[in-house]
Chains A and B, each alone.
Chain A
Amino acid sequence: MPNCKTVVPYNGTPEQELRLREIIAEHKGQPGATMPVLQAAQEIFGYLPEEVQIIVAEGLEIPLSEVYGVASFYAQFSMNPKGQHRISVCLGTACYVKGAADILSAVEQKLGIKTGSITKDGKFSLDACRCVGACGLAPVMMVGSDVYGRLTPDQVGPILDKYE
């Protein structure tokens, strides 16, 4: 998983930081607060750069290594920013046996990027995910919160064009 330190400069706003500090204050002292706080932080900033992790660690008074440990463990947390449109192609078993791998390579080909990365203009990011639970519609792809089901590779191009 390409979840290393990001090369994109941090550009969090004071408002975002204030919101994060409020959330930290709400959860402080509560057992097992790290994950809910990181989930909220990702919601606010869209990803979890080092700067944000430092705020969380200092706020919750826990070592930064522990915050980083949690942030790097779970697939949901990302240390890289995501595209304006987040594409995730389901690679759950039901989708896989119905040809999801071909859908994924069609998206990779169309955008010219690899799974787990982002287009240069920041418009699209592409991830593979494990089961969105819409197995009846397999194979499935999500763009943002829009779900496209019963896909064939040739439908990928026209769908993505809608988001250009």
Chain B
Amino acid sequence: MNLVRSHILVCTGTGCTSSNSLKIIDAFERELTEQGMEREAQVVKTGCFGLCAMGPIVMIYPEGACYTKVTPDDVPEIVSEHIVKGRIVQRLLHMESDEGGTATSLSDTTFYKHQLRIALRNCGVINPENIDEYIGLDGYAALGKILTEQIPPQKVIDDLKASGLRGRGGAGFSTGMKWQFTHDAVSPDGVKYVCCNADEGDPGAFMDRSVLEGDPHSLIEAMTIAGYAIGAHQGYIYVRAEYPIAVDRLKIAIAQAREYGLLGRDIFGSGFDFDLELRLGAGAFVCGEETALMTSIEGKRGEPRPRPPFPANKGLFQRPTLLNNVETYANIPWIFTHGSEAYAAIGTPKSTGTKVFALGGKITNTGLVEVPMGTTLRTIVEDIGGGCPGGKKFKAAQTGGPSGGCIPASLIDTPIDYESLAAIGSMMGSGGLIVMDEDNCMVDIAKFFMEFIVDESCGKCTPCRIGTRRLLDLLTKITEGDGTLEDLDTIEELCYHLKSSALCGLGQTAPNPVLSTLKHFRDEYVAHVVEKRCPAGVCKNLLRYTVDAEKCKGCTLCAKNCPAGAITGAVRAPHVIDQGKCIKCGVCMDNCRFGAISKG
């Protein structure tokens, strides 16, 4: 291994790759050679640092300088100043959004200060395409200890139970209990399977993707431990085909683990065999449901089936199967290297450990954050996230995606754990956390999720196939201004029927976005129905653009830009919008220099 003076870490997660971080890597390699520094510094591709809003991100060690929004044009300066002369390039350092100061090290920033990275411990730290870097940070130590010391599988499961780890896919079932059930299940021919749900379907969530892209070996290690604990020799990772970078890195990681004897026959000379196979999902949200996922791995239409029998008894190919999600697995090596007590000490008594959230929507620091369970929504949104941009008012946060609900601003001090979220009608979900401000219409959001569910309903059971369609019709009716107060009651009734009668989790949780917005934002629904008004100004049919005659200077800009020819008026005289012709595109408002056009 060659030793170098500086390490230049460049994020190659999806966010930063999308903003051209690969070109930055090329530029660094070219520039280092040109300035004769190629033996002094090494460029390392890493996974996600979490601060996606500021990407592409470059970290340079040993100084720990964090440069944000770097472009290939900045690279010559970074090399000549930082690498050659040892002077930090101040203008590119990460700016604190709240204090306006610069922080040399990321851990000093408010974005990281409140975080505790366990599942993401290696993301942005190691090169995910190099197994040695993972091993260098205690990777495969947990597996090695368990296999070489021949720790009995029951002891492994007991330790996991003691950690209190619960499923991070959303439902929050005890992971240790799941392992126990699969361990205890009897297979007719002794075959059992370990599966990983990496089909992150919640739109707006990318926690699992970042683990897959930034630390694929922790998943492989955890699944191998699981295989040993439950008595399985084959595992499947079901990953979205829409995640090409994740798929590539998993392939590389699996090949490297096989080469090192950490997958395959006789791992660590213990006589234990375990191997992994990748299966690509093909874009079906329902395949995140456990039975549907297994049907899909079997190569069929990804339709769920009734439970029981539960997958622990009859899962993939009718054999006992253990299924956990990516983030759940990512915690497991840490639990075995640090001990279950250390893990249980983090978070709240019932929800131990940490949770990763993909922070998105109307928030300053969009990105990936990992916080101890029990952290309040306020800390996440205001401190870590930096609040809503543009001085807008925080209105609600949506967790759990199409299966979850909204948390209104009045409940911003709710601690984020499984029980507290369920109590207010939302759910932990897989970790998508979308922030909404005063410009978002909650009825429109409920309709958005229902459209998603209608698209994604597999059609196997009637309540979901027809019920969601009817719900969407009713919501559409309301957003178009044709709703009645009785419709609100019908919606609620339909929601409860759907919850109690749908076949799988997708249908049973589908009403949650509607019910929670109805509960916390009923006045907004009523405004749509009674006053025929959309308070946030989103629902087009209820919008009216009007010209304030006092402010209008008659510059004619609005009339020139109106695509529908709906605006008339003489030069230097107030203009008028013909409501019959107006298509509510908002171009007039964008173009008016005098703020004379308003919508409402």
Contact = CB atoms under 8 A, between A and B. Distances in A.
A35 B361 contact: no
Contacts of B55: 136-137
Contacts of A45: none
A69 B299 CA distance: 11
Contacts of A32: 279, 297-300
Given A136-B15, A136-B53, A92 B282 contact: no
A129 B280 CA distance: 17
A147 interface: yes
Interface stretch (B200-208, B335-343, B492-500, B542-550): B200-208
A137 B14 CA distance: 10
A64 interface: no
A98 B303 CA distance: 32
B301 A70 contact: yes
Interface string A36-49: 10110000000000
Interface string A106-148: 0000000000000000000000011111111110100000010
Contacts of B202: 93, 131
B280 A137 contact: no
B452 A130 contact: yes
A135 B362 contact: no
Interface residues of B, number: 54
Contacts of B401: 93
B114 to A, nearest CB: 19
Contacts of A1: 455
Given A32-B298, A73-B301, A39 B445 contact: no
A93 B203 contact: yes
Contacts of B361: 93-94, 97-98, 138
Interface string B182-226: 000000000000000000111111100100000000000000000
Given A36-B279, A75-B282, A149-B18, 17 more contacts: A35-B279, A35-B299, A39-B241, A70-B300, A73-B458, A76-B242, A93-B398, A96-B203, A97-B361, A97-B435, A130-B452, A131-B206, A133-B15, A134-B18, A135-B52, A136-B52, A136-B366
7 closest residue pairs by CB, A with B: A136-B52, A94-B360, A92-B203, A93-B204, A75-B283, A74-B282, A32-B299
Interface of A: 1, 31-36, 38-39, 66, 69-70, 73-77, 91-98, 129-138, 140, 147, 149
30 contacts: A31-B298, A32-B297, A32-B299, A32-B300, A34-B299, A35-B279, A36-B280, A38-B282, A39-B282, A73-B302, A76-B242, A76-B282, A77-B282, A93-B398, A93-B434, A93-B448, A96-B448, A97-B361, A97-B445, A98-B362, A131-B204, A131-B206, A132-B18, A134-B52, A134-B206, A135-B205, A135-B366, A136-B52, A136-B55, A147-B18
Interface of B: 14-15, 17-19, 52-53, 55, 200-206, 209, 241-243, 279-285, 296-303, 317, 358, 360-362, 366-367, 398, 401, 432, 434-436, 440, 445, 448-449, 452, 455, 458
